[in-house]
Chain A
Amino acid sequence: MGRYVLARLAWAGPLVLAIVIATFFIIHLVPGDPIQALVGDFPTPPGYIEQVRKDFGLDQPLSTQLWLYLTNLAQGNLGFSFSNRQPVLGLVLDRARYTLLIMVPALSLAAFLGIAMALAAAPRAGGLIDSSITALSVTGFSIPIFWLGQILVIAFAIQLPWLPAQGMVSARESLQGWAWVRDVAWHMVLPVFSITIFYVAIVARVARASVLEALSQDFVLTARAKGLSRRTVLWQHVLPNAMIPVITVIGYNFGHSLTGAILVETVFAWPGLGNLFITSIGNRDYPVLLGIFLVTAIAVVIANLITDILYAALDPRVRASYGKNA
């Protein structure tokens, strides 16, 4: 297990470095002066631009610039956002909490629903539930997630005024304690549901395939031959085996769901990364945009790493194959 984790870490390190170097080149992609990408278009105090020029060595050769960029990043210096009057790193991490607040419940719900659908469809391939999984997954891949959010707002916040359409808390009341928690939960329903629908499509497809695959294995036949009921076999033998690909698909799609969350947030004015992203586009606050890209990209690498490790922890076959090669 230790050897496996080390191998995956050795893969993640260079990947992060490559992402950082790619970001460096993106800064130089701006037509004109790269200083624009590092400072943005917001008014800055006198002398700040000269300071940034010096910090990042913009008058030096490209290799020196890259080195300075790397050392600045290593110290957590992603620049300063003048439209938000805050260092970029703190700002991005602060907003990321709100994004996770809708992403984590959405992913959990999607995993639960996806597996439940796959298990319900398992007894009859080609049946009604089975075909609806296929239809759902094609739909999930094709629907613009922000449009889905808009439709949910129109249906459940405007036509049927059941749920709040925008924001994270009711602006007019100042709530405390449990009342506040309930208010936030109420505001979470529609954004969470938008991300869930998109994600169930992916999870249900993979879960369906892996349940069918597990059902065709010899151990299922053995368990049935031992006299276990269909239900026991499904819950105790098929489900644990089918869970592994589901966990992997959720982990590896972390980046996709992050993108989805960002687009959904703009519809619901949810104060997370997506909201920060769109206001930064409007303000031409480039350091924040680059900061969001760097932080999310590194988060995705970490999510993949955790997925790899979980995968090995759950499936002895993966561990074993690494042990033998040593």
Chain B
Amino acid sequence: MPRFLQRFLAYRAGIASGAYVAVLVLVAVVTFALPGVDPHQITDNAMVGPSMEHWLGTDELGRDMLLGILFGSQVSLAVGVSAAFGATVLGVLLGAAAGFYGGWLDLVVMRVAEMFQVVPSFILAAVIVALSGTGLTQVVAVIVLLAWPQIARITRGEVMRIKQLEFVDAVRCLGVREWAILAAEVVPNAMAPVLAAGTLVVAQAILLEASLSFLGLSSADIVSWGRMLNAGQRFLFNAWWMSVFPGLAIFLTVLAFNLLGDAVGSALNPRTVTR
């Protein structure tokens, strides 16, 4: 691992985005644990621009924008991380099985993956959430459903490459069972590009959740950045701060996870030369 860290630290964008994500996690944890602060607190200062009292202004009900953005990190991180985790687990299971065993299993998994990659995924997600309900569980489930194929494709490719290597035959000669070879030898060696792709899925998931909330497909009781932009849209002519700041939070967070994914990918790839 030290070599991985050494390589990772060579990417300045990777360090910066890693630091940003660390701060964001801290913010989400602190706002979650903090007693007595309510981002839904309605005040008389409705739609006040940025000032010393409200750094990022207030919304149409006088709620503080900064507080809302800080609390909104909880939803983005929770949805992003759990959806990426779910998609990665599902994608690795299906992709590894397809790549290792081949045959009809491979054919079926890859055809289904292809179908999910062809359909306009956001429209599908919005239709499913509109029909099944706007809870966070539904949103995460939909993102998992849409994101697993990319992980499965990468895992499958890696597994197909690794299963032909000599050490796999060596383990087989020791009498280890096929599924154990797959689980203990092949899959762990295929993990590097999968981890990088999984980090990119976090970025996609955050963007997708924000887009759904922007269309109003989220619970009104939960503070989220997309929901704030939905409100901002209605007051675009009167209160620019209601759109600018929550959108900036989404943009920076998605950017950070995208850069982090790229840096993790490069650092884990043995073919990359350390700069």
Contact = CB atoms under 8 A, between A and B. Distances in A.
Contacts of A292: 123, 127
Given A165-B236, A281-B216, A297-B120, A290 B243 contact: no
B214 interface: yes
B203 interface: yes
Nearest to B237: A158
B29 interface: no
Q: How large is the interface on B (under 10, 10 to 19, 20 to 34, 35 or more residues)?
A: 35 or more
Interface stretch (A149-157, A168-176, A178-186): A149-157
A162 interface: no
Nearest to A252: B118
Interface string A122-161: 0000000000000000110111101100110110001100
B207 interface: yes
Contacts of B240: 154, 158-159
A199 interface: no
Contacts of A15: 114-115, 118
B214 A146 contact: yes
Contact of A19 (B119, B131, B216, B244): B119
B214 A37 contact: no
B217 A26 contact: no
Interface stretch (B88-96, B154-162, B165-173, B254-262): B254-262
Nearest to B251: A143
A282 B133 CA distance: 13
Given A146-B214, A151-B244, A165-B236, A22 B115 contact: yes
Nearest to A28: B131
A293 interface: yes
Interface in B122-147: 122-124, 126-128, 130-133
Interface of B: 111, 114-115, 118-124, 126-128, 130-133, 203, 207, 210-211, 214-217, 229, 232-233, 236-237, 240, 243-244, 247, 250-251, 254-255, 258-259, 262
Given A15-B118, A147-B251, A277-B215, 16 more contacts: A26-B131, A144-B210, A144-B214, A146-B211, A146-B229, A147-B243, A151-B243, A154-B244, A158-B236, A256-B120, A266-B215, A277-B126, A289-B130, A289-B131, A297-B118, A304-B118
